[in-house]
Structure 1
Amino acid sequence: MADQQSPQSNPPRIAPRSGPFSSRLMWPAGAFLLGTLLVYNSIGTPADPKPLQSHRVAIATAAPGASRTVPALSRSVPKRLRIPEIAVDAPFTALSIGPSGQLNAPPGNNNNLVGWFQGGATPGERGASIVAGHVDTKTGPAVFMQLSSLKKGSKIDIARADGVVATFKVDAVETFSKAQFPNDQVYADTPDAQLRVITCGGAYNRAAKDYEANVVVFAHLDSTTRK
Protein backbone atom coordinates (compact mmCIF):
# COMPACT_ATOMS: atom_id res chain seq x y z
CA MET A 1 0.00 0.00 0.00
CA ALA A 2 1.02 3.47 0.70
CA ASP A 3 3.22 3.06 3.64
CA GLN A 4 4.98 6.11 4.80
CA GLN A 5 8.56 6.70 5.62
CA SER A 6 11.53 9.11 4.83
CA PRO A 7 12.87 11.78 2.17
CA GLN A 8 16.24 11.35 0.53
CA SER A 9 18.16 13.44 -1.96
CA ASN A 10 18.28 10.72 -4.60
CA PRO A 11 15.52 10.83 -7.25
CA PRO A 12 12.53 8.53 -6.72
CA ARG A 13 12.35 5.33 -8.70
CA ILE A 14 9.45 3.88 -10.66
CA ALA A 15 9.33 0.14 -10.31
CA PRO A 16 6.30 -2.06 -11.01
CA ARG A 17 5.34 -4.14 -8.02
CA SER A 18 3.27 -7.27 -7.82
CA GLY A 19 4.06 -8.59 -4.37
CA PRO A 20 2.18 -8.20 -1.09
CA PHE A 21 1.42 -4.76 0.23
CA SER A 22 1.47 -3.06 3.61
CA SER A 23 -1.92 -2.27 5.07
CA ARG A 24 -1.37 0.14 7.95
CA LEU A 25 0.82 3.06 8.92
CA MET A 26 1.77 4.46 12.27
CA TRP A 27 0.14 7.82 12.81
CA PRO A 28 0.84 10.54 15.39
CA ALA A 29 -1.47 10.70 18.39
CA GLY A 30 -2.79 14.27 18.51
CA ALA A 31 -2.40 17.31 16.29
CA PHE A 32 1.24 18.00 17.22
CA LEU A 33 2.44 14.57 18.31
CA LEU A 34 4.34 12.42 15.89
CA GLY A 35 5.14 8.78 16.51
CA THR A 36 7.78 6.47 15.17
CA LEU A 37 6.25 5.15 11.99
CA LEU A 38 5.57 1.42 12.01
CA VAL A 39 4.50 -0.30 8.83
CA TYR A 40 2.65 -3.59 9.06
CA ASN A 41 2.17 -6.13 6.32
CA SER A 42 -1.39 -7.27 5.74
CA ILE A 43 -0.49 -10.95 5.84
CA GLY A 44 2.49 -10.97 8.16
CA THR A 45 3.91 -9.56 11.36
CA PRO A 46 5.15 -6.02 12.08
CA ALA A 47 8.13 -5.15 9.92
CA ASP A 48 9.50 -2.83 12.59
CA PRO A 49 8.01 -3.60 16.02
CA LYS A 50 9.44 -0.56 17.83
CA PRO A 51 7.30 1.09 20.52
CA LEU A 52 5.57 4.38 19.79
CA GLN A 53 7.85 7.27 20.67
CA SER A 54 5.87 10.49 20.50
CA HIS A 55 7.42 13.93 20.61
CA ARG A 56 6.32 17.51 20.02
CA VAL A 57 7.40 19.26 16.83
CA ALA A 58 7.40 22.85 15.67
CA ILE A 59 4.93 24.06 13.07
CA ALA A 60 6.50 23.75 9.65
CA THR A 61 6.75 27.01 7.71
CA ALA A 62 6.37 25.50 4.25
CA ALA A 63 6.78 22.39 2.15
CA PRO A 64 10.05 22.18 0.17
CA GLY A 65 10.24 25.00 -2.38
CA ALA A 66 6.64 26.14 -1.87
CA SER A 67 5.27 29.68 -2.19
CA ARG A 68 1.96 30.68 -0.64
CA THR A 69 -0.72 32.73 -2.38
CA VAL A 70 -4.04 30.89 -1.91
CA PRO A 71 -6.05 31.17 1.34
CA ALA A 72 -6.94 27.91 3.05
CA LEU A 73 -10.48 26.58 2.68
CA SER A 74 -12.99 25.62 5.33
CA ARG A 75 -13.33 21.95 6.25
CA SER A 76 -14.96 19.69 3.64
CA VAL A 77 -14.36 16.01 3.01
CA PRO A 78 -12.66 14.93 -0.24
CA LYS A 79 -14.67 12.98 -2.79
CA ARG A 80 -12.35 12.31 -5.72
CA LEU A 81 -8.65 12.52 -6.58
CA ARG A 82 -7.45 13.26 -10.10
CA ILE A 83 -3.84 13.35 -11.29
CA PRO A 84 -4.07 13.47 -15.10
CA GLU A 85 -0.31 13.22 -15.54
CA ILE A 86 -0.32 9.64 -14.24
CA ALA A 87 -3.90 8.74 -15.22
CA VAL A 88 -5.25 8.70 -11.66
CA ASP A 89 -9.00 9.23 -11.21
CA ALA A 90 -10.11 7.61 -7.97
CA PRO A 91 -12.70 7.99 -5.20
CA PHE A 92 -11.75 8.53 -1.56
CA THR A 93 -12.40 6.47 1.52
CA ALA A 94 -11.88 7.79 5.05
CA LEU A 95 -9.04 6.25 7.07
CA SER A 96 -8.83 6.08 10.83
CA ILE A 97 -6.39 4.97 13.50
CA GLY A 98 -6.59 1.35 14.63
CA PRO A 99 -6.44 0.22 18.28
CA SER A 100 -2.66 -0.28 18.12
CA GLY A 101 -1.95 3.18 16.72
CA GLN A 102 -1.61 2.36 13.03
CA LEU A 103 -3.39 4.29 10.31
CA ASN A 104 -5.53 1.73 8.51
CA ALA A 105 -4.92 1.55 4.76
CA PRO A 106 -7.57 1.58 2.03
CA PRO A 107 -9.12 -1.87 1.42
CA GLY A 108 -6.78 -4.14 -0.50
CA ASN A 109 -9.53 -5.52 -2.73
CA ASN A 110 -9.92 -2.27 -4.72
CA ASN A 111 -7.00 -1.19 -6.90
CA ASN A 112 -8.51 2.22 -7.66
CA LEU A 113 -9.21 3.68 -4.24
CA VAL A 114 -7.36 6.27 -2.17
CA GLY A 115 -7.69 7.10 1.50
CA TRP A 116 -7.43 10.26 3.55
CA PHE A 117 -6.81 10.56 7.28
CA GLN A 118 -10.14 11.80 8.62
CA GLY A 119 -8.61 12.81 11.95
CA GLY A 120 -6.44 15.44 10.27
CA ALA A 121 -6.92 18.37 7.92
CA THR A 122 -9.19 17.89 4.92
CA PRO A 123 -7.53 18.69 1.56
CA GLY A 124 -7.49 22.46 1.17
CA GLU A 125 -7.96 23.12 4.88
CA ARG A 126 -5.08 24.69 6.82
CA GLY A 127 -2.58 22.02 7.78
CA ALA A 128 -0.97 19.00 6.15
CA SER A 129 -3.67 16.73 4.74
CA ILE A 130 -2.61 13.09 4.45
CA VAL A 131 -3.61 10.96 1.45
CA ALA A 132 -2.48 7.34 1.13
CA GLY A 133 -2.95 4.59 -1.43
CA HIS A 134 -1.58 1.28 -2.60
CA VAL A 135 1.20 0.97 -5.17
CA ASP A 136 -0.06 -2.55 -5.83
CA THR A 137 -2.22 -5.26 -4.33
CA LYS A 138 -2.31 -9.05 -4.62
CA THR A 139 -4.14 -8.65 -7.92
CA GLY A 140 -1.65 -6.30 -9.59
CA PRO A 141 -0.75 -2.60 -10.00
CA ALA A 142 -2.82 -0.15 -7.99
CA VAL A 143 -3.76 3.53 -8.00
CA PHE A 144 -0.35 4.94 -7.02
CA MET A 145 1.82 2.70 -9.19
CA GLN A 146 3.26 5.75 -10.98
CA LEU A 147 3.19 8.25 -8.12
CA SER A 148 6.97 8.52 -7.98
CA SER A 149 7.06 9.84 -11.56
CA LEU A 150 5.47 13.15 -10.54
CA LYS A 151 7.75 16.18 -10.60
CA LYS A 152 7.91 19.64 -9.11
CA GLY A 153 5.07 21.62 -10.67
CA SER A 154 2.80 18.61 -11.31
CA LYS A 155 -0.86 19.24 -10.46
CA ILE A 156 -3.17 17.24 -8.18
CA ASP A 157 -6.92 17.95 -8.20
CA ILE A 158 -9.16 17.02 -5.29
CA ALA A 159 -12.93 17.41 -5.62
CA ARG A 160 -14.55 18.14 -2.26
CA ALA A 161 -18.05 17.64 -0.91
CA ASP A 162 -18.68 21.41 -0.86
CA GLY A 163 -18.34 21.59 -4.65
CA VAL A 164 -14.86 23.11 -4.60
CA VAL A 165 -12.00 21.53 -6.55
CA ALA A 166 -8.73 22.17 -4.73
CA THR A 167 -5.72 22.08 -7.03
CA PHE A 168 -2.37 21.37 -5.43
CA LYS A 169 1.02 21.99 -7.01
CA VAL A 170 3.81 19.53 -6.26
CA ASP A 171 6.81 21.01 -4.46
CA ALA A 172 8.90 17.85 -4.16
CA VAL A 173 8.77 14.08 -4.55
CA GLU A 174 10.96 12.19 -2.12
CA THR A 175 11.76 8.53 -1.50
CA PHE A 176 12.50 7.69 2.13
CA SER A 177 13.87 4.57 3.76
CA LYS A 178 11.33 3.24 6.23
CA ALA A 179 14.15 2.81 8.72
CA GLN A 180 14.85 6.57 8.64
CA PHE A 181 11.46 8.09 7.94
CA PRO A 182 11.39 11.85 8.79
CA ASN A 183 8.15 12.13 10.77
CA ASP A 184 8.74 15.80 11.54
CA GLN A 185 9.15 16.74 7.88
CA VAL A 186 6.13 14.78 6.66
CA TYR A 187 3.61 15.16 9.47
CA ALA A 188 4.36 18.51 11.13
CA ASP A 189 1.48 20.96 11.28
CA THR A 190 1.63 23.77 8.72
CA PRO A 191 0.35 27.37 8.69
CA ASP A 192 -1.23 26.97 5.25
CA ALA A 193 -2.98 24.29 3.18
CA GLN A 194 -0.60 21.52 2.19
CA LEU A 195 -0.89 17.94 0.98
CA ARG A 196 1.13 14.77 1.52
CA VAL A 197 0.48 11.85 -0.82
CA ILE A 198 2.15 8.62 0.30
CA THR A 199 2.67 5.14 -1.09
CA CYS A 200 5.18 2.29 -0.98
CA GLY A 201 8.47 2.55 -2.80
CA GLY A 202 11.97 1.15 -3.12
CA ALA A 203 12.81 -2.52 -3.28
CA TYR A 204 10.41 -5.23 -2.14
CA ASN A 205 11.88 -7.33 0.64
CA ARG A 206 10.45 -10.82 0.22
CA ALA A 207 11.78 -12.02 3.56
CA ALA A 208 10.09 -9.17 5.45
CA LYS A 209 7.11 -9.17 3.05
CA ASP A 210 7.32 -5.41 2.87
CA TYR A 211 8.69 -2.56 0.77
CA GLU A 212 11.83 -0.93 2.06
CA ALA A 213 10.90 2.68 1.36
CA ASN A 214 8.06 5.14 0.91
CA VAL A 215 7.37 7.69 -1.79
CA VAL A 216 6.08 10.99 -0.38
CA VAL A 217 4.71 13.79 -2.56
CA PHE A 218 4.79 17.24 -0.94
CA ALA A 219 2.35 19.77 -2.41
CA HIS A 220 0.65 23.06 -1.55
CA LEU A 221 -2.75 24.52 -2.41
CA ASP A 222 -2.31 26.40 -5.68
CA SER A 223 -5.84 27.31 -6.80
CA THR A 224 -9.52 26.58 -6.24
CA THR A 225 -12.50 26.34 -8.57
CA ARG A 226 -16.16 25.56 -8.04
CA LYS A 227 -17.83 22.81 -10.03
Structure 2
Amino acid sequence: MAATVAATLATGVWLLQQGLQTAGPPPAPVTTTGTLASPASGDGGSQGQGGPPPLAASEPVRIKIPAIRVDAPVSALGLDRDQHLSTPPTGNKNLAGWYRDGPSPGAAGNAITIGHADTDKGPAVFYRLGLLRPGDRIEVTRRDRTTAVFSIDAVKVFPKNAFPDATVYGPTARPELRVITCGGAYDKHTGYRSNTVVFSHLTATR
Protein backbone atom coordinates (compact mmCIF):
# COMPACT_ATOMS: atom_id res chain seq x y z
CA MET A 1 0.00 0.00 0.00
CA ALA A 2 2.76 2.47 0.91
CA ALA A 3 4.53 2.29 -2.44
CA THR A 4 1.27 2.88 -4.25
CA VAL A 5 0.34 5.89 -2.15
CA ALA A 6 3.77 7.33 -2.82
CA ALA A 7 3.34 6.89 -6.55
CA THR A 8 -0.27 7.81 -7.14
CA LEU A 9 -0.32 10.92 -4.95
CA ALA A 10 2.66 12.39 -6.80
CA THR A 11 0.71 14.41 -9.34
CA GLY A 12 2.61 17.69 -9.42
CA VAL A 13 0.80 18.85 -12.56
CA TRP A 14 0.17 22.32 -11.15
CA LEU A 15 3.84 22.66 -10.22
CA LEU A 16 4.84 21.83 -13.77
CA GLN A 17 2.42 24.39 -15.17
CA GLN A 18 3.91 27.03 -12.90
CA GLY A 19 7.43 26.12 -13.97
CA LEU A 20 8.41 24.92 -10.48
CA GLN A 21 10.63 21.86 -10.46
CA THR A 22 12.03 21.71 -6.94
CA ALA A 23 9.59 23.54 -4.66
CA GLY A 24 6.73 21.51 -3.24
CA PRO A 25 4.11 21.99 -0.52
CA PRO A 26 5.14 23.75 2.71
CA PRO A 27 7.58 21.39 4.47
CA ALA A 28 7.29 19.99 7.95
CA PRO A 29 9.94 21.33 10.33
CA VAL A 30 13.29 19.56 10.31
CA THR A 31 12.70 18.22 13.81
CA THR A 32 9.83 16.08 12.60
CA THR A 33 11.71 14.41 9.74
CA GLY A 34 12.69 10.82 10.42
CA THR A 35 11.28 7.72 12.01
CA LEU A 36 8.91 7.06 14.85
CA ALA A 37 8.90 4.38 17.46
CA SER A 38 7.26 1.08 16.63
CA PRO A 39 3.46 1.30 16.58
CA ALA A 40 3.30 -1.69 18.90
CA SER A 41 2.78 0.76 21.76
CA GLY A 42 -0.36 1.92 20.01
CA ASP A 43 0.41 5.62 20.40
CA GLY A 44 2.22 6.62 17.22
CA GLY A 45 5.31 7.48 19.21
CA SER A 46 3.65 9.56 21.93
CA GLN A 47 3.34 8.66 25.57
CA GLY A 48 0.35 7.38 27.48
CA GLN A 49 -2.86 5.56 26.65
CA GLY A 50 -5.44 8.09 27.86
CA GLY A 51 -8.44 9.19 25.88
CA PRO A 52 -12.10 8.35 25.33
CA PRO A 53 -13.22 4.81 24.57
CA PRO A 54 -13.33 3.79 20.90
CA LEU A 55 -16.46 4.52 18.89
CA ALA A 56 -18.38 1.93 16.93
CA ALA A 57 -17.47 1.66 13.26
CA SER A 58 -19.03 4.34 11.04
CA GLU A 59 -17.99 5.74 7.67
CA PRO A 60 -16.37 9.20 7.76
CA VAL A 61 -18.08 11.88 5.69
CA ARG A 62 -16.06 15.03 6.40
CA ILE A 63 -12.65 16.03 7.74
CA LYS A 64 -11.76 19.40 9.26
CA ILE A 65 -8.29 20.60 10.24
CA PRO A 66 -8.82 24.14 11.57
CA ALA A 67 -5.12 25.07 11.81
CA ILE A 68 -4.70 24.80 8.02
CA ARG A 69 -8.31 25.60 7.06
CA VAL A 70 -9.16 22.17 5.72
CA ASP A 71 -12.88 21.44 5.49
CA ALA A 72 -13.41 18.65 3.00
CA PRO A 73 -15.72 15.76 2.20
CA VAL A 74 -14.32 12.25 2.52
CA SER A 75 -14.76 9.50 -0.04
CA ALA A 76 -14.30 5.80 0.68
CA LEU A 77 -11.41 4.16 -1.17
CA GLY A 78 -10.62 0.52 -1.80
CA LEU A 79 -7.96 -1.40 -3.66
CA ASP A 80 -7.53 -1.43 -7.43
CA ARG A 81 -7.16 -4.58 -9.51
CA ASP A 82 -3.46 -4.67 -8.64
CA GLN A 83 -4.35 -4.65 -4.92
CA HIS A 84 -3.03 -1.11 -4.50
CA LEU A 85 -4.81 1.58 -2.54
CA SER A 86 -6.82 3.90 -4.77
CA THR A 87 -6.62 7.67 -4.38
CA PRO A 88 -9.26 10.41 -4.58
CA PRO A 89 -10.09 11.59 -8.12
CA THR A 90 -8.14 14.69 -9.10
CA GLY A 91 -11.21 16.43 -10.54
CA ASN A 92 -12.14 17.71 -7.08
CA LYS A 93 -9.10 19.20 -5.38
CA ASN A 94 -10.96 19.58 -2.06
CA LEU A 95 -11.55 15.88 -1.46
CA ALA A 96 -9.96 13.46 0.99
CA GLY A 97 -10.03 9.68 0.90
CA TRP A 98 -10.38 7.00 3.57
CA TYR A 99 -9.31 3.35 3.29
CA ARG A 100 -12.67 1.66 3.74
CA ASP A 101 -11.29 -1.82 4.50
CA GLY A 102 -9.44 -0.51 7.56
CA PRO A 103 -10.76 0.97 10.80
CA SER A 104 -13.03 3.98 10.59
CA PRO A 105 -11.83 7.17 12.31
CA GLY A 106 -12.66 6.98 16.01
CA ALA A 107 -13.01 3.20 16.05
CA ALA A 108 -10.33 1.02 17.61
CA GLY A 109 -7.20 0.80 15.48
CA ASN A 110 -5.36 2.83 12.89
CA ALA A 111 -7.55 4.69 10.36
CA ILE A 112 -5.89 5.83 7.13
CA THR A 113 -6.81 9.00 5.22
CA ILE A 114 -5.05 10.33 2.14
CA GLY A 115 -5.34 13.28 -0.20
CA HIS A 116 -3.49 15.10 -2.94
CA ALA A 117 -1.08 17.95 -2.31
CA ASP A 118 -1.91 19.48 -5.67
CA THR A 119 -3.78 18.82 -8.90
CA ASP A 120 -3.81 20.55 -12.27
CA LYS A 121 -6.16 23.10 -10.67
CA GLY A 122 -3.61 24.18 -8.05
CA PRO A 123 -2.96 23.37 -4.39
CA ALA A 124 -5.24 20.59 -3.17
CA VAL A 125 -6.81 19.50 0.12
CA PHE A 126 -3.64 18.55 2.00
CA TYR A 127 -1.22 21.03 0.43
CA ARG A 128 -0.48 22.66 3.82
CA LEU A 129 -0.27 19.44 5.82
CA GLY A 130 3.40 20.05 6.66
CA LEU A 131 2.47 23.23 8.56
CA LEU A 132 0.67 21.25 11.27
CA ARG A 133 2.22 20.91 14.71
CA PRO A 134 1.76 18.55 17.68
CA GLY A 135 -1.38 19.48 19.57
CA ASP A 136 -3.28 20.72 16.51
CA ARG A 137 -6.74 19.25 16.10
CA ILE A 138 -8.36 17.07 13.43
CA GLU A 139 -12.14 16.60 13.44
CA VAL A 140 -13.82 13.80 11.50
CA THR A 141 -17.60 13.80 11.12
CA ARG A 142 -19.02 10.32 10.65
CA ARG A 143 -22.11 8.84 9.03
CA ASP A 144 -23.64 8.12 12.46
CA ARG A 145 -23.51 11.90 13.20
CA THR A 146 -20.77 11.56 15.78
CA THR A 147 -17.54 13.54 15.48
CA ALA A 148 -14.17 12.03 16.35
CA VAL A 149 -11.64 14.62 17.51
CA PHE A 150 -7.95 13.76 17.19
CA SER A 151 -4.89 15.48 18.62
CA ILE A 152 -1.76 15.48 16.48
CA ASP A 153 1.23 13.70 18.00
CA ALA A 154 3.76 14.22 15.21
CA VAL A 155 4.21 15.34 11.61
CA LYS A 156 6.82 13.29 9.76
CA VAL A 157 8.37 13.38 6.31
CA PHE A 158 9.59 10.06 4.90
CA PRO A 159 11.52 9.52 1.65
CA LYS A 160 9.43 7.40 -0.68
CA ASN A 161 12.28 4.96 -1.14
CA ALA A 162 12.42 4.36 2.63
CA PHE A 163 8.76 4.55 3.60
CA PRO A 164 8.17 2.83 6.99
CA ASP A 165 5.12 0.70 6.22
CA ALA A 166 4.81 -0.83 9.69
CA THR A 167 5.01 2.51 11.47
CA VAL A 168 2.46 4.23 9.25
CA TYR A 169 0.04 1.39 8.48
CA GLY A 170 0.59 -0.99 11.41
CA PRO A 171 -2.16 -1.78 13.93
CA THR A 172 -2.56 0.37 17.04
CA ALA A 173 -4.08 -0.39 20.42
CA ARG A 174 -6.07 2.84 20.69
CA PRO A 175 -8.02 4.82 18.06
CA GLU A 176 -5.54 6.65 15.85
CA LEU A 177 -5.63 8.49 12.56
CA ARG A 178 -2.96 8.87 9.88
CA VAL A 179 -3.25 11.63 7.28
CA ILE A 180 -0.97 11.19 4.27
CA THR A 181 -0.01 13.31 1.29
CA CYS A 182 3.03 14.00 -0.87
CA GLY A 183 5.82 16.23 0.33
CA GLY A 184 9.42 17.21 -0.09
CA ALA A 185 10.98 18.50 -3.27
CA TYR A 186 9.31 17.93 -6.62
CA ASP A 187 11.05 16.64 -9.72
CA LYS A 188 9.28 16.78 -13.08
CA HIS A 189 10.58 13.33 -14.01
CA THR A 190 9.98 11.41 -10.80
CA GLY A 191 7.37 13.48 -8.93
CA TYR A 192 7.47 14.23 -5.22
CA ARG A 193 10.38 12.65 -3.41
CA SER A 194 8.74 12.17 -0.03
CA ASN A 195 5.47 11.68 1.81
CA THR A 196 4.20 13.83 4.67
CA VAL A 197 2.43 11.79 7.36
CA VAL A 198 0.44 13.17 10.29
CA PHE A 199 0.13 10.89 13.34
CA SER A 200 -2.78 11.58 15.70
CA HIS A 201 -4.88 9.91 18.37
CA LEU A 202 -8.48 10.22 19.55
CA THR A 203 -8.92 12.73 22.36
CA ALA A 204 -12.65 13.54 22.30
CA THR A 205 -15.97 12.55 20.77
CA ARG A 206 -19.20 14.43 20.37
Instruction: Using structure 1 for the length normalisation, give the TM-score.
Output: 0.74
Name the residue aligned to 2:200.
219
- What is the deviation of 1:60? 4.3
Name the residue aligned to 1:135.
117
Name the residue aligned to 1:187.
169
Name the residue aligned to 1:119.
101
Match for residue 42 of structure 2 among 58, 61, 66: 61
Aligned residues: 179
Which residues of structure 2 form unaligned runs of 5+? Answer: 13-37
Which has the larger helix fraction? 2
What is the aligned-residue identity percentage?
Answer: 40
Change (3 A) 1:173 1:72: same
Separation of aligned partners in 1, 2:95 and 2:2: 17
Name the residue aligned to 1:39.
7
Separation of aligned partners in 2, 1:169 and 1:189: 18
Q: State whether residues 4 and 215 of structure 1, in contact with CA within 8 Å, keep that contact through their aligned partners in structure 2.
A: no
Q: Which runs of 4+ in 1 moved over 3 A?
A: 40-43, 57-60
User: What is the 5 A alignment of 1:58-97?
Assistant: 59-67=40-48, 68-97=50-79
> Which letter maps to 1:223?
A
Separation of aligned partners in 2, 1:87 and 1:181: 27
- What is the deviation of 1:163? 1.2
Separation of aligned partners in 2, 1:157 and 1:130: 14
Residue 160, structure 1, aligned to residue 142, structure 2 = yes
Which residues of structure 1 form unaligned runs of 5+? Answer: 6-23, 26-37, 44-56
Backbone CA RMSD of aligned residues:
2.0
> Which letter maps to 2:84?
Q
Q: State whether residues 39 and 167 of structure 2, in contact with CA within 8 Å, keep that contact through their aligned partners in structure 1.
A: no
> Which letter maps to 2:186?
Y
Residue 105, structure 1, aligned to residue 87, structure 2 = yes
